[in-house]
């Protein structure tokens, strides 16, 4: 990361994660982080959905490391150690799920796609702190649980790295996904030879540099297309000289054109 952990604001574990009360299937906790912060490794009896409706977060869970944008959320089952880092300003919605309502939810840390419907449901529930079993809020909770069980596990997750040299490249690419510099040029930025940087990308993220960058571009493309930006603008913003080249890349990775992908996403909401 560009900022050392020592300089980040330390956030204590959220107390509601430890409340055992099946009469409250979900307890919410809304958090606005204005400066770089981190929640050190912890676990709690309730499962947790971590969703940043604004900003990007870094999550370490069960040995996996992810960079998570506002189109995705991370599900953490009960008693699984996890850490969360916020490089900058973030609005965070936490949904803590009682263990008696977790049947059908993933039994391991999972990155899910957040549909427009799920996003609105999460944001609405995040404004509520207490409710009764016969209330409208309780019914909303049950709808959210059903949506979570049906949520699509994302294929376009971004693994994070721990090596500072790799993270310098990752941070720069996240700031400008259209940057087309190759490994030799990035090696100068990272302070490593192109061969070393190539090896580090694979060992740190599980992907080659080229494959990792393609995943970043795809994630950015999906986010922007889902926000209503047209294909031509997205392709230009992400550094493609022609829309056809962008469409070909998108189709080869996901099996459908950008337009078809967006239409499918809308129809599944």
Q: What is the pLDDT of residues 64-97, one digit of tens each?
A: 888 888 889 999 999 999 999 887 788 999 999 9
113 beta partners: 72
Considering the domain boundaries, does residue 156 fall inside one?
Answer: no
Are 82 and 32 within one domain? Answer: yes
Strands 37-42 and 9-10: parallel
Residue positions counted in the chain: 269
Tell which of 130, 150, 170 closes a domain.
Answer: 150
166 plus 145 within the same structural domain = no
Helix and strand totals (H; E) in the chain: 9, 11
- 54 inside domain: yes
State whether 33 and 107 are in the same domain.
yes
Residues 100 and 65 in one domain: yes
% pLDDT > 90, the chain: 64
Domain boundary among 150, 184, 207: 150
Identify whether residues 178 and 123 lie together within a single domain. Answer: no
Residues 126 and 31 in one domain: yes
The verdict on 177 and 75 lying in the same domain is no
In 63-165 the beta strands, taken as DSSP E runs, fall at 64-68, 72-76, 82-86, 90-97, 110-113, 158-159
Residue 266, pLDDT score: 54
CATH number of domain containing 206: 1.10.10.60
Across residues 188-193, what is the average pLDDT?
96
Instruction: Give me the pLDDT at residue 267, please.
Output: 53
pLDDT attached to residue 194: 97
CB 50 within 8 Å of CB 76: yes
pLDDT at 123: 96
The token pair at 90 is: 């973030």
What backbone torsions phi and psi does residue 135 show, to the nearest 5 degrees?
A: -95, 165
| Domain co-membership, 68 together with 191 | no
Helix (H) or strand (E) holding 26: strand 26-33
Rounded mean pLDDT, 19-30:
96
The total number of structural domains that make up the chain: 2
Q: Answer yes or no: is 157 within a domain.
A: no
CATH of the domain at 140: 2.60.120.810
pTM: 0.74
Domain membership of residue 155 (yes or no) is: no
Phi-psi region of 80 (alpha: psi -120 to 50; beta: other; left: phi over 0): beta
Does residue 225 belong to any structural domain of this protein? yes
The secondary structure of the chain in percent helix, strand, coil, rounded to multiples of 5, reads: 40, 20, 35
- pLDDT at residue 63, rounded to an integer: 76
On the question of pLDDT at 5 being above 70, the answer is: no
Does residue 240 sit within a domain? yes
Same domain, 237 and 146: no
Residue 36: pLDDT above 80?
Answer: no
Can you give the pLDDT at residue 1? 40
- pLDDT for position 54: 87
Domain coverage including residue 38: 5-150
């Amino acid at each position: 990361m560009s900022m050392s952990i020592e300089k980040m604001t330390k956030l204590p574990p959220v107390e509601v994660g430890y409340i055992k009360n099946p009469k409250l299937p979900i307890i919410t906790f809304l958090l606005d982080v204005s400066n770089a912060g981190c929640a050190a490794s912890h676990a709690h009896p309730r499962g947790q959905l971590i969703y940043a409706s604004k900003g990007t977060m870094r999550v370490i869970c069960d040995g996996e490391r992810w960079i998570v944008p506002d189109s995705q959320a991370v599900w953490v089952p009960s008693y699984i150690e996890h850490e969360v880092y916020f490089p900058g300003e973030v609005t965070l919605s936490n949904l803590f799920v009682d263990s008696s309502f977790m049947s059908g939810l993933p039994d391991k840390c999972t990155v899910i796609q957040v549909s427009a419907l799920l996003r609105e449901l999460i944001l609405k529930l995040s404004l509520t702190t207490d409710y009764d079993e016969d209330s409208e809020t309780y019914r909303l909770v049950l709808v959210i649980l059903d949506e979570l069980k049906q949520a699509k596990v994302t294929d376009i997750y971004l693994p994070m790295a721990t090596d500072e040299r790799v993270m310098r490249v990752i941070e720069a690419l996240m700031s400008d996904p259209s940057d087309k510099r190759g490994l030799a040029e990035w090696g100068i930025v990272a302070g490593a030879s192109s061969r070393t940087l190539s090896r580090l990308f694979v060992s740190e993220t599980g992907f080659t540099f080229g494959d990792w960058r393609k995943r970043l571009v795809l994630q950015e493309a999906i986010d922007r297309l889902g926000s209503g930006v047209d294909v031509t603008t997205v392709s230009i913003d992400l550094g493609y000289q022609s829309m056809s080249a962008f469409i070909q890349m998108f189709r080869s990775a996901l099996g459908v054109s950008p337009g078809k992908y967006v239409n499918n996403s809308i129809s599944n909401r």
